[in-house]
Amino acid sequence: MLRMLLCLTLASVTVACGSANGTRRSISETTSQTANSSGSSTSGFHSLTGWQKTVPFYISSQASDEVVEAAQNAAATWGDAVGQVALKFAGIGTSTRGKDLYASLDDNKTFVYYEDNWTTTTGKSTTTLATTVWENATDSDRIVSGDVILNSQTYTFLDALKTIPKGVNETRVVDAETVLLHEFGHLLGLDHISESTDSDSIMHAKTFIGPGLSFRTLSDGDTSNIKKLYP
């Protein structure tokens, strides 16, 4: 099986490592204080098959109520786009993610993880916001497992449109729904889209960070692309 990842980061980093069954890749994205910005992909897909089923997902028990609500909202946005339930909230759960980047793919559940030990277990920079990892079937690009991992070592995920709690470092505030909407797009099979291809896409390689900054809608192109995967 082929395992891959997509992640959000403040710096442009590309990591590749080999496995017995295929190649694992990392595609990095950059945060911005003002707007989304261009990526490199023009195809819009990392899988042309998707999951071929509704994907139940769990939220880590470490997540705040705001993050749980954000995840449900993000899943509903993709579901509304395709006219069916693509991602189904299955509840709050406790799961041991493991000690390396792909370890969580060995279980049979899809999780949104909080990773307090980010740099040690993912091998990614402290400035990376989040990573989506997934595994393809051995005979096709059908997705058979996947997880979203949030960097809770560095960042505070919350509703950035609300008043930021006292004591929270505002330079590390991330709008949870913005990030999860983007990462759920990757989880479902979408790749990055360049700004020149679709200026309004949620799948740009850069995303908002900071109080009051969010991007919670899909473009017509995002909707068209996801419908191709989940007709």
**DSSP strands (E only) in the chain:** 2-8, 16-19, 22-27, 30-32, 55-60, 87-93, 110-115, 130-136, 143-151, 156-158, 173-175, 206-208
- Whether this prediction's pTM lies above 0.85 is answered by yes
pLDDT in tens, 148-179: 999 999 999 999 999 999 999 999 999 999 99
* Domain total of the chain: 1
Q: How far apart are CA 87 and CA 33, in angstroms?
A: 29
Range of the domain at 51: 2-229
d(CA 192, CA 185): 9
At 90, list the tokens. Answer: 């299955």
* pLDDT value for 8: 56
- 7/28 Cα distance (integer angstroms): 5
pLDDT of residue 6: 55
Write the CATH number for 81. 3.40.390.10
